[in-house]
Amino acid sequence: MMASDDNEMLTVAQAAAAMGMSPRYVRRLIAERRIAFHRLGRSVRIARADVRAFIDDGRVEPMTASEVWRYLRGVA
């Protein structure tokens, strides 16, 4: 993907489709200020780079077996 694609502005529906989520979920993210957005008059647009950043920020790395056992010892 080219760098100019990161500057592309998406509607709420397009951002939702890019995330595989509903437009209602994206509107909630906007209302809670959990994703960066741009207000253009009464319209809201989200940069493709901001959608990608939101997805990347939610990434959870897998645990190794030793980390799982260490975590389970702390729970009991």
Task: State the DSSP code for 35.
Answer: S
Q: Specify the pTM.
A: 0.76
Regions of the chain short of the pLDDT cut 50: 1-2
Structurally, the chain folds into a number of domains equal to: 1
Percent of the chain exceeding pLDDT 70 equals 92
Please report which residue ranges of the chain form alpha helices under DSSP H. 3-6, 12-19, 23-31, 48-57, 65-75
pLDDT for res 67 = 84
Average pLDDT of the chain is 90
Q: Which residues constitute the domain of residue 36?
A: 3-75
Confirm if 10 and 46 have CB atoms less than 8 A apart.
yes
